[in-house]
Copies of this chain bind each other. A is one copy, B any other.
Amino acid sequence: MSQKRVLLFTGNGKGKSTAAFGMLARAVGHGMKARVIQFVKAQEGVGEVLFFTRFEEVEWDHYGKGFLPTDPESPMMEKHTQAAEFGFEEALDALESDEFDFVLLDEVCYAASKGIIPLQPLVEAIVDAGDKIIVLTGRNAPQELIDLADTVTEMKMVKHGYEQGLLSQAGVEE
């Protein structure tokens, strides 16, 4: 690893997590060791999990419970916060560890924007991390995360199949 990189994919369009998975493919292609921690998401049988968990270079966990309630006062919120707490500890460990060349925190921007993980310790852990590739995804990225990333893309939805009534499709959305 020659240099530290922090990349962030946000916005309301399709392609945030898939861009991160594409980078993960590149990293594994170069023989790097990768850690993937997913927040919010809870899916097991999706293509990215079926695929990347085949490789011993990739350590993959998700700590999500699915869609967050729109009401932050909802009693359902607790199980989401609790799951995210486990994931957050793992994320801090991965950022600190020398074991991984590539750390993907999927949906971490969204989780932080919803307050189910704390922003400041995350910012500090990214700042303190050594030379590795760090990828952050999720909509509504907090400005503090945008500020510390070297590369930020807003995935802007021009149109989406959902709008035309298309169903979620293996190889596309899952």
Q: State the A residues within 8 Å of B (CB).
A: 2-3, 5, 7, 9, 11, 13-30, 32, 46-52, 101-102, 133, 146, 149-161, 164, 166-167, 169-172, 174
Most buried by B among A9, A11, A13: A13
| Given contact pairs A150-B159, A157-B153, A171 touches B47 in the complex (Cβ within 8 A) | no
Q: Determine how many copies of this chain the complex contains.
A: 2
29 residue pairs A–B, Cβ–Cβ below 8 Å: A5-B161, A11-B153, A13-B153, A14-B151, A15-B16, A17-B22, A18-B23, A19-B155, A21-B26, A25-B48, A25-B51, A26-B46, A26-B172, A27-B47, A28-B47, A28-B51, A29-B46, A29-B48, A29-B50, A30-B50, A133-B171, A146-B158, A151-B159, A151-B172, A152-B158, A153-B155, A153-B157, A154-B158, A155-B156
